[in-house]
């Protein structure tokens, strides 16, 4: 046992000794030209791919020679514009736009379900609520509340409004919404409503401030321009007025379906600025996409409730409105780049270093698949222990694809 342990210690000693001595060795690459057309074709092909990648993708597409900024400062102001006739009512932005002060989120009401003249009192619970159906008072537990219901149970079992079956009586705003609501027709003319979106973006690193509205000489001309223009990607890229129908179409959504269920649409403003050019060339691009669950989902769409309170004969009353509509979320992305020597040097050095991978890859192919008789490996790897006492002969040799040595330089390339 002791002998085995001693051998182990001796082996570890030799290992660390060789490792320590080898750590101070110096390795230098040896140039060897191999006359093999297949390997040469692979080498040049890999070189071409690496160089093409860095020139086309890294430098031209990604502009790796630029210093960039991806977290700009941005502000958004929105306003809905348009008037619609709804039955005998004239609706303006106060009626259908939320919120009225603008911001990066704005919505418009396209359809309403209204429950008129609700008052605090006692009425029958809706039959779809769990444990709401009953036959006697004992089926209704007093003061019990169901989170899916509309109020607190009184302990009585009453007839459900004008129907013959019974449900538990509750204390709440009566009549309940599911019974008393009136569905109004959708506001399909809202397809021509316009959304004014003003966006300013600032790149503090480069001290560049840009806006998405066309520069006009006077306020009067600006007002006239904004009242007439509608955004067009080619003709009016600096007009901030967007039709709701245009937004729905670009988001691949049916406006009639949006009127029925509502929906959330993202308005993406993308600023990609090459500041090596004049800042006036820094223009926004817009894209639109549905953000909420699709219409085939159970809880898709967009809606919310609000109430209008009033007093009638000294009794507090309200009109409850369930509003379906389009909500627009304005999301701004910004990226600016400008030439800088530091990223240029780093990218160039990386490109030159990556070209060296071609040699490593081809060496692996050479020594793994071509060097069957170890002719190449014998030539490639030499170990020099000390300088020779006599000068080495200066004979030049080369290796062809068959691994033979020649001294005639006319047929080969010197090592």
CB atoms inside a 10 Å sphere around CB 111: 21
Please report the pLDDT score of residue 382 as a whole number. 66
Question: Is residue 102 pLDDT above 70, yes or no?
Answer: yes
Confidence of residue 402 (pLDDT cuts 50, 70, 90): very low
Q: Cα–chain-centroid distance for residue 343?
A: 26
Enumerate the H helices of 122-230 as residue ranges: 177-180, 219-228
Biggest CA-to-CA distance, the chain: 123
Please report the pLDDT score of residue 183 as a whole number. 93
Which has the closest alpha carbon to 174: 31, 315, 329, 383?
315
- Class in CATH terms, 73-115+183-339: mainly beta
Confidence of residue 373 (pLDDT cuts 50, 70, 90): low
State the sign of the Cα–Cα–Cα–Cα dihedral 119, 120, 121, 127: positive
Over residues 15-52, the pLDDT tens digits come to 777 777 777 777 777 777 888 888 889 999 999 999 99
Cα gap 280→82, rounded to integer Å: 32
The answer to whether residues 39 and 370 touch, using CB atoms and an 8 Å cutoff, is yes
Please report the pLDDT score of residue 381 as a whole number. 67
Write the CATH number of the domain with boundaries 1-23+31-62+341-380: 1.10.287.940
| 322 known member of a binding site | yes
Angle at the Cα of 270 (from 264 to 276), degrees rounded to 5?
Answer: 175
Kindly report which listed range (20-34, 86-100, 153-167, 216-230) carries the lowest average pLDDT score: 20-34
Q: What is the mean pLDDT of the chain?
A: 85
More confident: 7 or 325? 325
- Token pair 């240029």 is found at 344
Over residues 161-193, the pLDDT tens digits come to 989 999 999 999 999 999 999 999 998 889 999
* pTM assigned to the model: 0.75
Question: Is residue 110 pLDDT above 60, yes or no?
Answer: yes
The answer to whether residues 170 and 125 touch, using CB atoms and an 8 Å cutoff, is yes
Q: Where are the domains of the chain?
A: 1-23+31-62+341-380, 73-115+183-339, 126-175
Question: Is residue 222 pLDDT above 70, yes or no?
Answer: yes
């Amino acid at each position: 046992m002791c002998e085995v342990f001693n051998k182990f210690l001796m082996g570890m000693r030799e290992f660390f000794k060789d490792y320590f001595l080898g750590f101070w060795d110096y390795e230098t690459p040896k140039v060897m030209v191999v006359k093999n057309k297949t390997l040469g074709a692979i080498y040049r092909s890999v070189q071409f791919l690496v160089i093409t990648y860095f020139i086309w993708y890294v430098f031209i597409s990604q502009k790796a020679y630029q210093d960039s900024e991806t977290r700009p400062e941005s502000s958004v102001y929105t306003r809905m514009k348009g008037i619609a006739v709804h039955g005998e009512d004239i609706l303006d932005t106060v009626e259908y736009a939320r919120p009225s002060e603008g911001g990066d989120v704005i919505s418009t009401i396209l359809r309403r379900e209204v429950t008129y003249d609700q008052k605090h009192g006692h009425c029958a619970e809706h039959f779809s609520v769990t444990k709401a159906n009953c036959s006697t008072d004992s089926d209704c537990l007093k003061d019990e509340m169901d989170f899916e219901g509309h109020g607190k149970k009184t302990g009585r079992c009453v007839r459900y409004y004008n129907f013959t079956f019974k449900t538990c009586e509750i204390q709440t705003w009566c009549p309940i919404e599911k019974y008393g609501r009136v569905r109004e027709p959708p506001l399909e003319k809202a397809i021509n409503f316009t959304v004014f979106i003003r966006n300013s973006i600032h790149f503090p690193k480069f001290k560049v401030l840009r806006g998405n509205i066309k520069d006009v000489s006077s306020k009067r001309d600006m007002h006239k321009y904004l009242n007439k223009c509608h955004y067009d990607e080619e003709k009016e890229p600096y007009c901030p007025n967007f039709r709701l129908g245009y937004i729905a179409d670009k988001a691949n959504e049916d406006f009639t379906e949006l009127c029925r269920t509502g929906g959330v649409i993202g308005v993406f403003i993308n600023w990609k600025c090459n500041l090596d050019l004049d800042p006036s060339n820094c223009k926004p691009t817009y894209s639109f996409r549905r953000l909420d669950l699709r219409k085939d989902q159970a809880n898709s769409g967009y809606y919310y409730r609000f109430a209008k309170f009033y007093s009638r004969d000294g009794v507090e009353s309200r009109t409850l409105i369930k509003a379906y509509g389009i909500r627009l979320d304005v999301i701004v992305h910004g990226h600016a780049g400008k030439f800088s020597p530091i990223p240029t040097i780093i990218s160039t050095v990386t490109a030159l270093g990556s070209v060296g991978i071609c040699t490593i890859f081809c060496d692996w192919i050479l020594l793994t698949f071509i060097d069957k008789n170890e002719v190449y490996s014998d030539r490639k790897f030499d170990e020099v222990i000390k300088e020779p006492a006599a000068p080495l002969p200066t004979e030049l040799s080369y290796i062809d694809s068959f691994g033979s040595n020649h001294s005639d330089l006319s047929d080969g390339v010197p090592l």
